[in-house]
Amino acid sequence: MTAKMNASLEKNLKTVYAVLDEVERYNHASRVLGFDQQTICPPLGMEEQGETSAFLSNKAFQLTKSKKFISAAEDLYANRKLLNEWDRALADSLHRDYLRNKNVTPAMDKQFSLIFNKAFVNWIQAKKNADFSIFADSLAQVRKVNLKQIALAENAKRVPYDNLLDIYERGMTTKDLKKCFDACKERLVPMLQKIQKSKKKIRTDFLSRKVTDESQREMAKYLLQTMGFDFKRGAFTTSEHPFTDGIAPDDARVTTHYYENMFASSMFSIIHEGGHALFEMNQPRENFAHHIQYCKTLGQHESVSRFYENRIGRSRAFVHLIFKKCKEIFPTVFEDVSEKQFYEALNVVEPSLIRTEADEFTYTFHIIIRFEIEQMIVNGNVDIQSLPQIWNDKYEEYLGVRPGNDREGILQDVHWTSGFGYFPTYSLGNMYNAMYYNKMKEEIDVDDCILHGDFGTINGWMKEYVWKFADRMDSKTWIKKITGREFTVNDFLDYVEKKYGELYGV
């Protein structure tokens, strides 16, 4: 390219960087307020807190609507082949956002944020009271917002749900997911029937023994330390629904929830969220310099959290590693429990109502249910008031259990307060990590590392192969780069069939 072209591109890149520097200041403050809202903000202060957060994020949105910024960003996209790989990823990301938001005015953006905020506040109240009617109107408003966003998008896809899925998992389609989930149903349903007919009985009574919040907090800190969580760059606390937020390069925050008669719940929620935090903490510093730190797909992110939660956390090696500490922190729980019994209890297959507490085997069915309902909401014209009944019927159909109230049914997850399309990424995450776990095993002795608490080696491999390129690639390209193979569900299905076949002798 010419020297003049060089100078022009460089000027536009500086313009884009300068705006994004300011955008990220507003978003940083908004994220801190959002974290506060979900953790220590008093109930009556939540709505105003959310409104302030929405005000800040809207200020950031306004900056990206300036003609100068749009012109500079679009020029980068038009000449992206001349950019380095980091800035090319940025140009692609900004172009996607431009097409998605071109016709969304700052006033609309603010209105959308306030609707999502009100939905969150109403969801909290509805869940507390186990009463869907408190949340129903907000959910209807969220659907309207999502449909309006789709209608306004310049790059809208023919299948409405594909537009929302593309926000979380670009490159994946409803057709892709249906193929994956059909394969899951084909192989997991017969396997579940075999497991339920098995004579193997797994002891789980001790999992409901009461423990204090303080002892659970001690366990959570131990688990995070074991995984390699950097407490100089991260923190943890509690919230109604556990989550992670990568607020800044050196500020990754996670939450969990303590139940006095479900100590394993907080253990595995903190391992799950700790996995998300490790991803945030170990991404390349160049991501921040080039403003692409939030370009990861949710499937990529969930692959990591569920890798640590399940592939490591529920393994025999990890149970062996932490068993002594578990007995030390929860002495009354483990006084008559063996290591083998603990491992089996953590892997018991038992159809249940709550997704976040679901066993590794039946978890996929929880996602299939949500995927099917989300399509009905977005692609069809389902009556919002009928959703609790539809939800309950699907749980009975797929898992043979039926919610007794809305809290343990349709109100259990926070995700629908901000739109639809997230849930499939959890299952995609399981499928991705099954593929790269097999690749990792070819290069390092994973079980030996876990047995000896050597997370430096595991995290080092993840940093080099899994975390390094995520923000620069869509998921299909990324998983092929890691494994050398096209995306497939078979690694995951082979893994669960082998693991649970051996556990239950079927």
Beta-strand relationship, 244-248 and 251-256: antiparallel
Q: In sequence order, what are the beta bridge partners of 248?
A: 251
Residues 72 and 83: beta-carbon distance below 8 Å: no
309 catalytic per annotation = no
Distance from C-alpha of 414 to C-alpha of 408, rounded to nearest angstrom: 13
CA 379, chain centre distance (Å)? 23
Q: Which helix (H) or strand (E) holds 246?
A: strand 244-248
DSSP state of 235: E
Diameter of the chain measured on Cα atoms:
77
**One of 273, 302, 344, 374 is an active-site residue; which one?**
273
Q: Which of 278, 281, 265, 178 is nearest to 219 (CA)?
A: 265
Residues 32 and 252: beta-carbon distance below 8 Å: no
Q: Which long-range contacts (CB under 8 A, 24 or more apart) does 62-67 make?
A: 62/106, 63/19, 63/22, 63/23, 63/26, 64/19, 64/23, 64/97, 64/101, 65/105, 65/106, 66/19
- In the three-class reduction of DSSP (H, G, I as helix; E, B as strand; rest coil), residue 251 is classed as strand
Distance from C-alpha of 317 to C-alpha of 299, rounded to nearest angstrom: 26
Q: Which of 154, 175, 57, 15 is nearest to 96 (CA)?
A: 154
Which amino acid, one-letter code, is at 77?
Y
Structure token digits, residue 155 = 């790059």
Distance from C-alpha of 307 to C-alpha of 296, rounded to nearest angstrom: 16
CA atoms within 13 A on the CB side of 453: 11
Q: Which of 301, 294, 304 is nearest to 471 (CA)?
A: 294
Q: Which helix (H) or strand (E) holds 252?
A: strand 251-256
Phi, psi of 486 (to 5 degrees): -70, 155
Structure token digits, residue 491 = 């690694």
Altogether, the residues listed in the chain come to a count of: 506
Distance from C-alpha of 126 to C-alpha of 26, rounded to nearest angstrom: 30
DSSP state of 234: E
β strands within 304-418, DSSP E:
none
432 φψ region: left (φ > 0), alpha (ψ -120 to 50), beta (else): alpha
Distance from C-alpha of 86 to C-alpha of 93, rounded to nearest angstrom: 11
Catalytically active residues are 273
